[in-house]
Structure 1
Amino acid sequence: MTGHRPFTFDTEFDDAGAVAYQPPRQKRSFTPEEVETIRAAAYAEGEGSAMAAAEMDLARAMDRIADAARQGLGALAQVAHAHRSDAAHLSMAAARKIADSALARFPEAPVTAALEALAREVEASPRLLVKVAPEAQVRVQAALDGMASSLGHSGRIEARAEPGMTPAAFILDWGDGRASFDPVDAASRIQTALDEALAAEGLHAEPLIALEPTHG
């Protein structure tokens, strides 16, 4: 048994017998101009679809490039920060070596520099007491004796050995005041300040290499 297919009328008539609806006839032949027009429209539609797909691919590629650039810049900032930290710590280590060598050679230098800076404070004091490391006492005393006249200090200046003190460290006491210096403690404070500055700087410092302006 075959299935039934509904019958459709090509033309419909009204009650008076006039044509109420007539479907448009399909065109079966075309002129060369019409064929060219249809071909051009189809080509333009296909080209538009291809351009849209290409633009979408380009947009996705640009997004991937931007993500890669962001990741690369983040990694570069980390490398730059590590470089700054390493360079700063290397400079600090070199400075400490130089300072230690200079202080070992001239242990009297810190206390004489302090006395020159405090000349007005100590000039009226009848007695100055400077505590220093035992191995630096002789050199410090000789330096203090040589400075007394240039400082205008008429009182006594005594360098006293203090066991346990770091070479080049001193404690200066003039009765009305006191000053001290410890190279180990000073280096530790400088190191702490350097570490805090690097930590605060983080990854937001200026670039290591200044970019040249581009000229269009």
Structure 2
Amino acid sequence: MTDIPHKRFTFDTVFDGRGGMTEPPPRPKRSFTPEEVEAAKTEAYALGERSALARAEQHAANALGGIAGAVREAFTTLAAVAHEHRSGSALLALAAARKIADAALERFPEAPANAALVALAREVEAQPRVTVRVSADLVERTQQTLDETAQAIGFPGQIVARADGDMPPAAFTFDWGDGRAAFDPDEATRRVAEALEAAIAAEGLHAEPLLPASES
């Protein structure tokens, strides 16, 4: 009896649920032509380039986001510094103005009362008498200056300067019966300082832009 070799069953035939045969799955290819190898290499390189480009673009986007955040933070800090600088400059200007005003009032202490008489000329022109109270050491000087000013502005009434021991230098009060006016350099300085501080606080960090808008 001749032995017939048996062919090993490879399980290539697959049956479906109704007993019919289905197509066998494709076998993986084990050999490639040089053209196929080159095509696969080209595709792999392209995939690698796209992947590297995507990573580079992501890194660039992350870097730009970091730069934008740093710029925003820098401008916030710069705005705070600029606001502090503006505040310091304003307060320095106020202090300088106070020094100049103090020097002027020390040299011409009668000047505020004289300026007030000119400003109040319309108010007092019909009054027969205006009483001016100043510090004791300024009575004579103030009287002489106001008499000259009254003559120059055509005030027909009488101006009487009187001493007030509680009145600081350059301060005064005007009293003409129907009205009253007063000036205290210290109080005026305090009000100016309060107004300036309120303006600085209201401005906050919302002043003019640090950099001008670029022209299109």
Q: How far has the Cα of 1:74 moved from its partner? A: 1.1
Root mean square deviation, CA, Å? 2.2
| 1:8–1:160 distance in 2 versus 1, CA, 3 Å | farther
1:106 aligns with one of 96, 105, 108: 108
Q: Name the CA shift for 1:25/1:135 in 2 (closer, same or farther; >3 Å).
A: same
Q: Which runs of 5+ in 1 are unaligned?
A: 1-6
Shift >6 Å, 4+ stretches: none
Contact 1:11 1:23 in 2 (8 A): no
Structure 2 runs not aligned, ≥5 long? 1-8
Provide, for residues 13-33 of structure 1, a one-character-per-residue CA deviation record: whole Å limited to 9, x for no partner: 79xxx9643232332332222
Alpha-carbon displacement from aligned partner over 1:116-174 (angstroms, at most 9, x marks no partner): 11112111211110001112212101101212222322322111111121211110011
Equivalent-residue separation in structure 2 for 1:41 and 1:47 (angstroms)? 10
Using the size of structure 1 for normalisation, the TM-score is 0.87
Q: Percent identity?
A: 58
Which whole-Å CA distance do the structure 1 matches of 2:22 and 2:134 have between them? 124
Match of 2:149 in 1: 147
Residue of structure 2 in register with 1:3 after alignment:
none
Q: CA deviation at 1:212?
A: 7.1
Number of residue pairs the alignment of both structures matches:
206
1:40 aligns with 2:38: no
Tell me which residue corresponds to 1:213: 214
Q: TM-score, normalised by structure 2?
A: 0.87
Specify the code of the residue in structure 2 equivalent to 1:213. S
115, 129, 132: which is aligned to 1:130? 132
Q: Deviations over 1:149-204 (max 9, x none)?
A: 22322322111111121211110011111111111111100100000000011111
Give, as a single letter, the amino acid of the residue that structure 2 aligns with 1:123. Answer: E
Displacement after TM superposition at 1:8 (Å): 6.3
